[in-house]
């Protein structure tokens, strides 16, 4: 076995097993040889985190254990850590779901599962906090949607993830398995499922918001967005 890594997504990510011992037994090594990578969600926000990049440098094989591997993969990609071409085995470790229910983990922001994202832009159109932008230079007819202002996201709000038709949006600290990466292969969401989650017609809401943005001077709209974020997200 090459490198064995234990990933913690953040403070609210609490395992129900001794992670180093569990992975060491799996890999046939001593627990002290397990590399610990703590606070992945926080590190992913800091470009050029040398320790994070070093964890996945080289062509060795990896065994990576964490509570929600799908969320960890999305966070690593958000941080610019490419795993393509690397031999990586993932181990899902049992974790304390109740810890996520007691209080929101921070930093709270969405990440995108690129294996499922179609670039439809629904999240960008629905989000009122300017978390997303479209990269017009990227592949696809509408460009690729990216999380460009993660800390604009209102803590505890996973509304955009409920709208994603393919379940590509993840909030690593959400207590809901469908939203936090615990479910490896989420089911596509029908229009009825999305409408039920919203309690209204999502397409009407999106149309109204696009229209409202178009009628407001862009500079004034931008300032209004800043004010709304500054004052606790009050609309």
- In terms of domains, do 120 and 42 share one? no
Residue-wise pLDDT for 143-195, tens only, equals 789 999 999 998 888 888 988 889 999 999 999 998 999 998 777 766 666 66
CATH of the domain at 173: 3.30.70
Last residue of a domain, one of 63, 96, 129: 96
Residue-wise pLDDT for 77-102, tens only, equals 999 998 888 899 999 999 998 888 88
- In terms of domains, do 224 and 115 share one? yes
Q: Encode burial over 192-222: b for 16+ CB neighbours within 10 A, e otherwise.
A: eebbeeeeeebeeeeeeeeeeeeeeeeeeee
* Average pLDDT score over the chain: 83
Region 35-62: mean pLDDT is 89
Last residue of a domain, one of 96, 121, 148: 96
Q: How many helices (H) and strands (E) would you count in the chain?
A: 10, 8
- In terms of domains, do 68 and 115 share one? no
- In terms of domains, do 59 and 20 share one? yes
Q: What angle do CA 205, 194, 42 make, to 5 degrees?
A: 90
- In terms of domains, do 144 and 82 share one? no
Domain span including residue 115: 111-230
Residue 105 lies in a domain: no
* pLDDT > 90? residue 76: yes
* Cα 234 to chain centroid, rounded: 24
């Amino acid at each position: 076995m090459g490198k064995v890594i234990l990933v913690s997504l953040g403070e609210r990510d609490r395992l129900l097993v001794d992670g180093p011992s569990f992975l060491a037994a799996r890999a046939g090594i001593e627990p002290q040889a397990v590399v610990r990578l703590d606070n992945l969600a926080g590190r992913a926000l800091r470009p050029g985190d040398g320790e994070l990049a070093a964890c996945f440098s080289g062509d060795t094989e990896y065994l990576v254990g964490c509570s929600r591997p799908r969320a960890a993969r999305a966070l690593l990609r958000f941080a610019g850590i490419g795993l393509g071409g690397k031999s990586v085995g993932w181990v899902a470790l049992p974790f304390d779901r109740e810890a996520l229910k007691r209080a929101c983990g921070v930093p709270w922001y969405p990440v995108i599962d690129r294996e499922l994202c179609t670039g439809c832009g629904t999240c960008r159109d629905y989000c009122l906090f300017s978390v997303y932008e479209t990269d017009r230079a990227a592949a696809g007819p509408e460009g690729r949607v990216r999380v460009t202002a993660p800390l604009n996201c209102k803590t505890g709000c996973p509304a955009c993830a409920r709208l994603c038709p393919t379940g590509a949006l993840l909030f690593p600290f959400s207590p809901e398995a469908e939203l936090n990466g615990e479910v490896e292969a989420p089911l596509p969401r029908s229009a009825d499922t999305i409408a039920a989650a919203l309690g209204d017609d999502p397409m009407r809401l999106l149309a109204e918001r696009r229209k409202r943005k178009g009628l407001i001077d862009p500079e004034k709209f931008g300032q209004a967005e800043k004010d709304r974020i500054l004052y606790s997200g009050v609309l």
